[in-house]
């Protein structure tokens, strides 16, 4: 399979580059920046992309690159820090000009080139840098500039080496995908063969190779991720798969019933329903720190799976719907941890089961496409993301039965009204948060002291960045009135209008 490798120099959104490449139907993987050159060459990639990074090439702790990578006769594209690193390694000049560029910037092309073939001479792009290339390496031609970057684009067609200061992977660079396509198809001579069918075929083959004839259990939540992972494994191993649905009491209203109905009656996948609400509430009693909540829930999940696996002969594998964004946010060697996802950073080190994670290297939009191809109904394919720890991390403070019931009812009202307004598919997520504080209110001429509910709704393409959704005032008014009137224990509704970054989508 044709592959373009992205070398990760520690930018939080390096994986977006790989995602954009895949959107062009070319398979791409993110690998550590210091992967040995011989290992890279052995994989025979069609192209290499050097990601951005958070530092300067002159910093004491700057991430470096082996210059031999530029002698492999493989097309290389350096983006932002990657371009500066290429310049520095090949004898050009990177300068601290004192003129930083952040955000939307006008790029002006000065001559024809491969990267911007058939694109406008003036266009908007997204910059995020302090240093600039002021003198390209020998053999490179500068083909574009901005007010603060005299060399914003550079090319050496003979060696098939390219550099670009802006970020083509972000949506704020309107022609970013076109730039990547020019690199992929004109410089690397790739073919657009990475499709949903190929994802399924490769996943099924990999599962069979890993699992063999052994029994497998799947941690099923009912969301699109775990459901897709379960169906991929079921296609690979049939009834050697048993799905385990842990009803931990932290789900949304009626969600447990929907999961049972879908997998027992519709897909007819072997399913074990474990009711363990009291156990989770006991373990979470008195716990307020978000990371501790995640780790408690993650470990208890695994312990339940291990106990169920002992009842099944020859069970060695546990399926999880881990996505690539889960891995990145839980922290990689070269990117900071944002939060530990329960199926990544929350797993116990002494786990007895070997993981099967067929979705670990694909993105949410790819998962939905695979789910549709596998026949999942639309209401499951397009179900908004829901965290593994469930409502436990939407209660800011200690998790109690009372707070769970309040939050469940409030969230049900929000979802009902969002669907009624025709906005459910347009939002990445919409949900309620219950901070464990109380505020004064007045109802029926009497003083109240009750919880607030915070509405959180965001738009996003990949969960790595998100903007708060501009919900209609009429919808907000209806939701607020219904929650306060119908949910005992609530006397105030607020709206979260922060984006990611600097916030995250979930509160914990």
Q: How far apart are alpha carbons 252 and 485 in whole angstroms?
A: 20
Q: Are strands 446-459 and 439-443 parallel, antiparallel or unpaired?
A: antiparallel
Joined tokens for residue 26: 């070319």
Count the Cβ atoms, other than its own, within 10 Å of residue 469: 20
Contact 248, 277 (CB under 8 A): yes
Beta-bridged to residue 218, according to DSSP, are 243, 319
Joined tokens for residue 470: 């501009």
Contact 26, 6 (CB under 8 A): no
Q: What ranges make up the beta strands (E) of 130-270?
A: 132-135, 141-145, 153-156, 161-164, 215-220, 241-247
Contact 313, 215 (CB under 8 A): yes
Q: How far apart are alpha carbons 6 and 361 in whole angstroms?
A: 13
Catalytic residues: 80, 167, 169
Q: How far apart are alpha carbons 153 and 80 in whole angstroms?
A: 10
Q: How far apart are alpha carbons 25 and 181 in whole angstroms?
A: 10
Q: Report the number of secondary-structure helices (H) and strands (E) in the chain.
A: 14, 22
Beta-bridged to residue 162, according to DSSP, are 77, 155
Q: How far apart are alpha carbons 477 and 65 in whole angstroms?
A: 55
CA distances from 43 to 36, 39, 72, 168 (A): 11, 7, 12, 25
Contact 106, 32 (CB under 8 A): no
68 SS3 class:
helix
428 SS3 class:
coil
> How many Å from the N-terminal Cα to the C-terminal Cα in the chain?
39
DSSP string, 373-409: HHT--HHHHTPPP--TTGGGGTEES---HHHHHHHHH
CA nearest neighbour of 274 among 227, 218, 314: 218
Q: Are strands 3-8 and 27-32 parallel, antiparallel or unpaired?
A: parallel
122 SS3 class:
strand
Joined tokens for residue 4: 């373009």
């Amino acid at each position: 399979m044709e592959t373009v490798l992205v070398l990760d120099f520690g930018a939080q959104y390096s994986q977006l580059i790989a995602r954009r490449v895949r959107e062009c139907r070319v398979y791409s993987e993110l690998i550590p920046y210091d992967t040995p050159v011989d290992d890279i060459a052995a994989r025979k990639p069609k192209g290499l992309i050097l990601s951005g990074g958070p530092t300067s090439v002159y910093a004491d702790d700057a991430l470096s690159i082996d210059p031999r990578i530029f002698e492999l006769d493989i097309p290389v594209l350096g983006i932002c820090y990657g371009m500066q690193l290429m310049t520095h390694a090949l004898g050009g000049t990177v300068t601290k000009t004192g003129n930083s560029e952040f955000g939307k910037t006008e790029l002006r092309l000065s001559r024809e080139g491969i990267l911007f073939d058939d694109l406008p001479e003036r266009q908007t792009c997204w910059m995020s840098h302090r240093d600039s290339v002021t003198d390209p390496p020998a053999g490179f031609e500068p083909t574009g500039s901005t007010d603060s970057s005299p060399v914003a684009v550079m090319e050496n067609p003979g060696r098939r080496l390219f550099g670009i200061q802006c970020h083509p992977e972000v949506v704020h660079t309107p022609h970013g995908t076109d730039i990547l396509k020019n690199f992929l198809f004109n410089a690397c001579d790739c073919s657009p063969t990475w499709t949903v069918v190929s994802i399924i075929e490769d996943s099924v083959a990999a599962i069979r190779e890993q699992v063999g004839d052994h029994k497998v259990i799947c941690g099923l939540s009912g969301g699109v991720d775990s459901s897709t992972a379960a169906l991929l494994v079921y296609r690979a191993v049939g009834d050697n798969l048993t799905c385990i649905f842990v009803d931990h009491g932290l789900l949304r209203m009626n969600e447990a019933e929907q999961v049972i109905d879908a997998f027992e009656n519709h897909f007819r996948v072997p399913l074990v329903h474990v009711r363990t609400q009291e156990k989770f509430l006991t373990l979470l009693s008195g716990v307020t720190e978000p990371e501790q909540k995640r780790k408690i829930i993650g470990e208890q999940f695994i312990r339940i799976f291990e106990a169920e696996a002992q009842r099944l002969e020859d069970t060695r594998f546990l399926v999880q719907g881990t996505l690539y964004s889960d891995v990145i946010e839980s922290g990689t060697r070269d990117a900071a941890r944002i939060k530990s996802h329960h199926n990544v950073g929350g797993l116990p080190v002494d786990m007895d089961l070997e993981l099967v994670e067929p979705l670990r290297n694909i993105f949410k939009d790819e998962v939905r496409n695979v789910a549709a191809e596998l026949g999942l109904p639309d209401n499951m394919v397009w179900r908004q993301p829901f965290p593994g720890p469930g409502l436990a991390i939407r209660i800011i403070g200690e998790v109690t039965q009372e707070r769970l019931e309040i939050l469940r009812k409030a969230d049900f009202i929000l979802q009902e009204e969002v669907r009624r307004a025709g906005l459910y598919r347009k939002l990445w997520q919409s949900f309620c948060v219950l901070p464990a504080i109380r505020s004064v209110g007045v109802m029926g001429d009497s003083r109240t002291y009750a919880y607030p509910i915070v509405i959180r709704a965001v738009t996003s393409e990949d969960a790595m960045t998100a903007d708060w959704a501009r919900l209609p005032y009429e919808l907000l008014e209806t939701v607020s009135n219904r929650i306060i009137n119908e949910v005992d224990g609530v006397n105030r509704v607020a709206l979260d209008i922060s984006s990611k970054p600097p916030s995250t989508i979930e509160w914990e």
